[in-house]
């Protein structure tokens, strides 16, 4: 999976270069080789924004695009993800080093309601349920002809930074003989959560995470949308930090019995973040039952 994405990234390095007016970075031989893909390149990256630039995110915040980096608006992000065979990626923004070197991140904001951050995180219990949910989800993957996914463990245990309201973790999985690392960061706001998915080669994870964290310092909610601006009467999320890790809205779906919606997530899940979304079904249900009986 990640190997396929990495190959596609190499292609898009050239595609984005072709899309830049006045740039003559490619020799004639390379241009001739890729002339048949020029039309596809225009369809994928019509308007990349190169830093310095201020990228508005869902009208609730901005992400400062520094020099040497780029961002894509939702339409371009959706096209790029579809080219990578990751369908149904809507209302999302891409942020990456120019040329998509080493890594890229996709950010999406969901108005979940205010998530209380006073919950104690139990990595052992969460991992146990994630594994159960992953194995159960393989039934659906087999039906669709997808390779099975097996969760090995934490690459980075879930941890919450109360000063930045960032919840981060990384899982290590295996599928079709390839190791897959999915690094996720959730940034809490007054009324919802911004989810940032990092896509990188496992060998470059530490470097990519460090770079992403530095760039995330340039992401900020609008003054009236910061976590500290919570006011009485604001919508409250139906789950806490654990729910954000095991599926967030899927955990809430357990309470309402919306299992068809959960299966829909499995059907539409991104290939490169599959391990992050398969932790649903019985795994989520078991965690919710455990907390109810506590």
Residue range 241-249: average pLDDT?
Answer: 78
Tokens of 186: 């959730």
Residue range 148-177: average pLDDT?
Answer: 91
Tokens of 18: 């072709």
Confidence of residue 179 (pLDDT cuts 50, 70, 90): confident
State pLDDT tens for residues 95-136.
999 988 888 999 999 999 999 999 999 999 889 888 888 888
Tokens of 209: 């995470």
* Angstrom distance (rounded) from CA 231 to CA 270: 35
For the ranges 48-52, 86-90, 164-168, which has the lowest average pLDDT?
86-90
Tokens of 193: 């959560």
* Angstrom distance (rounded) from CA 90 to CA 48: 17
Domain boundaries of the chain, sorted by first residue = 2-107, 123-194+216-293
Residue range 241-268: average pLDDT?
Answer: 51
State pLDDT tens for residues 10-31.
444 334 333 444 333 322 222 2
Residue range 191-196: average pLDDT?
Answer: 95
Average per-residue pLDDT for the chain: 73
Token look-up 């190169």 returns 50
Q: Report the pLDDT value the prediction gives residue 100, as an integer from 0 to 100.
A: 83
* More confident call, 189 vs 9: 189
Token look-up 């079709």 returns 176
C-alpha 189: how far from chain center: 17
> Is residue 283's pLDDT more than 80?
no
Residue range 246-260: average pLDDT?
Answer: 45
Q: Report the pLDDT value the prediction gives residue 201, as an integer from 0 to 100.
A: 77
Q: Report the pLDDT value the prediction gives residue 12, as an integer from 0 to 100.
A: 40
Under 8 Å CB-to-CB from 184, ≥6 apart: which residues? 168, 169, 170, 195, 196, 197, 198, 273, 276
């Amino acid at each position: 999976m990640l190997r396929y994405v990495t190959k596609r990234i190499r292609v898009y390095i050239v595609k984005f270069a072709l899309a830049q007016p006045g740039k003559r970075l490619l020799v004639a031989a390379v241009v001739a080789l890729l002339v048949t893909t020029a039309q596809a390149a225009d369809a994928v990256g019509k308007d990349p924004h190169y830093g310095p630039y201020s990228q508005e995110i869902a009208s609730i915040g901005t992400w400062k695009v520094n020099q040497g980096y780029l961002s894509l608006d939702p339409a371009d992000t959706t096209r790029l993800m579809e080219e990578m065979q990751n369908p149904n990626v809507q209302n999302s923004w891409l942020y990456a080093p120019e040329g998509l070197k080493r890594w890229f991140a996709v950010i999406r904001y969901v108005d979940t309601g205010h998530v209380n951050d006073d919950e104690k995180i139990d990595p052992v219990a969460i991992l146990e349920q994630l594994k159960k949910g992953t194995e159960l989800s393989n039934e659906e993957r087999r039906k669709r002809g997808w390779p099975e996914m097996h969760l090995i463990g934490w690459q980075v245990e879930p941890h919450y930074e109360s000063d930045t309201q960032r919840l981060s973790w990384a899982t290590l999985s295996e599928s079709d003989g390839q190791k897959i690392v999915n690094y996720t960061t959730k940034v809490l706001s007054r009324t919802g959560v911004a989810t940032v998915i990092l896509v990188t080669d496992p060998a470059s994870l530490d470097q990519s995470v460090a770079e992403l964290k530095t760039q995330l310092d340039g992401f900020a909610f609008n003054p009236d949308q910061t976590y500290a601006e919570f006011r009485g009467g604001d919508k409250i999320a139906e789950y806490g930090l654990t729910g954000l890790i095991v599926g967030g809205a899927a955990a809430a779906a357990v309470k309402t019995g919306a299992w068809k919606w959960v299966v829909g997530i499995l059907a539409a899940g991104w290939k490169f973040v599959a391990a992050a979304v398969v932790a649903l079904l019985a795994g989520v249900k078991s965690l919710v039952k455990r907390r109810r009986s506590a």
